[in-house]
Amino acid sequence: MIHPGRVYLGLGSNLGDREGNLHDAIEALRHEPGFVYLNRASIYRTPALGPDAGDEFRNTVVAGLWSGSPESLLDLCHRIEDRCGRDRPYRWAPRTLDIDILFWNGVEMSTPRLRIPHPDLCQRAFALVPLLELAPDLFGDDGCSLDASLTGELLGQGIEAVSTGACRV
């Protein structure tokens, strides 16, 4: 069962010490007032998407509880990205850290700054596979079609676990 306030954040890095960047971001989240860290998925190696996207990524998903607004969580994610040296010269640019709000139990929203659930979640194995590792029963009938999504094209995106995460929450 998913509890109110539970959020799932997708973390990715394809510059520098990629796994180290993920661990630094998780530590920053763990020490942030208002965020209660629950768990993380395995770390996955995935190819970069988009033109000029750079080297392969390391990706994971973190589960937590957030006591603030969706916008304040987005602001927190951007501050952590900035502290990890994130530069945004153009879309799809290589990055030391990217943190996306993938899913928030009970929250659906669409603003110019933020869409929840993440609009591309069901097309991205690097987000969906670790998310389902943590919460395999997350999506109901109104979610994306997971049976169709996890076959064919999605599994052909080249995702591979490189380290294990903790157990499910």
Q: Tokens 């993380």 — which residue?
A: 40
- Annotated active-site residue 86? The verdict is yes
Q: Tokens 């996207």 — which residue?
A: 53
Of the residues 98, 113, 115, 124, only one is catalytic, namely 98
Provide the residue type at 8 as one letter: Y
Nearest-angstrom CA–CA distance, 116 and 124: 15
Of the residues 6, 40, 58, 100, only one is catalytic, namely 100
Q: How far is CA 53 from the centre of its chain?
A: 17
Using DSSP, state whether 144 is helix, strand or coil.
coil
Contacts of 97 (CB under 8 A, 6+ apart): 11, 12, 13, 21, 22, 24, 25, 80, 81, 84, 85, 86
Of the residues 18, 40, 58, 86, only one is catalytic, namely 86
- Annotated active-site residue 98? The verdict is yes
Of the residues 6, 18, 58, 95, only one is catalytic, namely 95
What is the token pair recorded at 112? 């110019």
Per the DSSP assignment, residues forming a β-bridge with 160 are 45
Q: How far is CA 56 from the centre of its chain?
A: 16
Task: Indicate which residues carry an active-site annotation.
Answer: 86, 95, 98, 100
